[in-house]
């Protein structure tokens, strides 16, 4: 979902860039020094993982492909603020080095893929986990759901931005339907990849999952209790 | 892995490209200023072999992401006890 230059006019592109810059600044401020020596390496790994997986396009319909976006996955693994940094790195690399996504569209692409996806994911994840039993299954299910919705949110943001500043002549309703319907399919892919990845990490190193931090008991606490008793 | 498997990745347009093409929105799209650069579109221009080109592009990207990720690591790492800020 990397927008090329020229789809959307300069005013909206600049506006999006300003918003993205603000959000990135918040991300930088709030994430500084927050992860411990166990969880900090994950930030770098998540960036590499998402970059690699974004290159793996899978077919979703005749003549169309999709790929992982990763905002939800990042947010659940390392928390929203670090996730913003991770996605900024990935999307910027793609635009600057690989011309995937326009340069003047970078603000828009960062906003949609790096910020809207993360904000929606973080809020929805927290909200859903409040309502559900605090188990591994819940976390995986919520992760997949949140990932799905984050893709729709990003696609919706694109349509909204296009309605403000699109350069071609168009019918907004048919743009909405066209963009959203293909992203429903991509969202399913995102949900599957996110759910599987979170499940795998929960099974091996649950302490690394930011989204699980207040829910799953720390293993070493349990060991100490049984030794003392 | 990105280098190896991306050769098999679907080369069909992605969802946004497809939808914007269907709706006739992409007539206004312009190639970005770096569209002719050596690494544009994840390949390495000048290398004819598609597999190798894609592999190197992916490898370069992953390496750069790793370097940037290491930078993130240093940014978010909590200072160890005794370390001065």
Q: What is the pLDDT of residues A37-47, one digit of tens each?
A: 878 888 888 99
Best A8, A13, A52 member to test B by mutation, with max B CBs in 10 Å, is: A52
Q: How far apart are CA A50 and CA A100, in angstroms?
A: 15
| Separation in Å, CA B66 to CA A8, A48, A165, B85 | 31, 6, 35, 25
What are A202-212's pLDDT values in tens digits?
988 888 889 88
**CA B17 to centroid of chain Cα atoms:** 17
Task: Note the pLDDT of residue A228.
Answer: 46
Distance from the Cα of A132 to chain B's closest Cα (Å) equals 30
ipTM: 0.73
Q: Which domain holds residue B70?
A: 2-76
pLDDT in tens, chain B (85 residues): 666 666 666 667 777 887 777 777 777 777 777 777 777 777 666 666 677 777 777 888 888 888 888 888 888 887 765 545 4
In the numeric block, which tokens belong to residue A76? 């659940």
Q: Does the pTM of the predicted model rise above 0.90?
A: no
Check pLDDT > 50 for residue A116: yes
Q: How many domains does chain B have?
A: 1
Chain B residue with CA closest to A98: the answer is B40
Q: Select the more confidently predicted residue: A10 or B83.
A: A10
Q: Are A31 and A82 in contact (CB under 8 A)?
A: yes
Q: Are A118 and A83 in contact (CB under 8 A)?
A: yes
In a domain? residue B34: yes
A43 and B72: CB-CB below 8 Å?
A: yes
In a domain? residue B81: no
Instruction: State the average pLDDT over residues A67-93.
Output: 93
Q: Count Cα neighbours of A217 within 13 Å in the Cβ-side half-sphere.
A: 7
**Please, what are the domains in chain A?**
10-228 (1.10.1760.20)
Q: How far apart are CA A55 and CA A151, in angstroms?
A: 17
| Separation in Å, CA B27 to CA A5, A139, A162, B30 | 11, 43, 14, 8
User: What would the DSSP string read from start to end of B64-83?
Assistant: HHHHHHHHHHHHHBPPPTT-
What are A184-229's pLDDT values in tens digits?
999 999 999 999 999 999 988 888 889 888 776 554 444 444 444 4
Check pLDDT > 60 for residue A151: yes
Distance from the Cα of B6 to chain A's closest Cα (Å) equals 5
């Amino acid at each position: 979902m990397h927008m090329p230059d020229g789809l959307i006019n300069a005013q909206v592109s600049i506006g999006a860039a300003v918003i993205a810059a603000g959000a990135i600044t918040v991300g930088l401020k709030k994430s500084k020094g927050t992860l411990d020596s166990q969880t900090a390496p994950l930030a770098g790994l998540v960036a590499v993982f998402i970059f690699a997986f974004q290159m793996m396009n899978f077919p979703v319909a005749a003549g169309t492909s999709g790929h992982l976006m990763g905002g939800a996955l990042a947010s659940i693994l390392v928390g929203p603020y670090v996730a913003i940094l991770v996605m900024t790195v990935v999307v910027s690399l793609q635009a600057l080095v690989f011309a995937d996504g326009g340069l003047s569209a970078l603000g828009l692409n960062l906003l949609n893929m790096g910020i809207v996806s993360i904000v929606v994911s973080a809020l929805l994840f927290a909200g859903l986990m409040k309502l559900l039993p605090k188990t591994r299954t819940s976390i995986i299910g919520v992760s997949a759901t949140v990932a799905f919705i984050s893709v729709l949110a990003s696609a919706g943001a694109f349509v909204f931005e296009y309605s403000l500043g699109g350069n071609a002549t168009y019918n907004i309703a048919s743009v909405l339907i066209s963009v959203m319907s293909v992203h429903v399919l991509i969202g399913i892919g995102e949900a599957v990849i996110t759910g599987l990845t979170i499940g795998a990490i929960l099974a091996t190193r649950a302490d690394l999952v930011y989204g699980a931090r207040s829910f799953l008991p720390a293993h070493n606490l349990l060991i100490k209790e049984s030794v003392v008793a | 892995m990105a280098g190896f498997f991306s050769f098999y990745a679907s080369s069909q347009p992605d969802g946004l490209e497809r939808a914007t093409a269907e709706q006739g929105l992409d007539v206004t799209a312009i190639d970005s200023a770096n569209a002719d650069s050596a690494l544009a579109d994840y390949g390495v221009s000048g290398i004819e072999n598609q597999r190798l080109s894609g592999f190197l592009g992916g490898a370069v990207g992953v390496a750069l992401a790793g370097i940037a990720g290491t930078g993130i690591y240093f940014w978010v790492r909590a200072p160890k006890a005794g370390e001065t800020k």
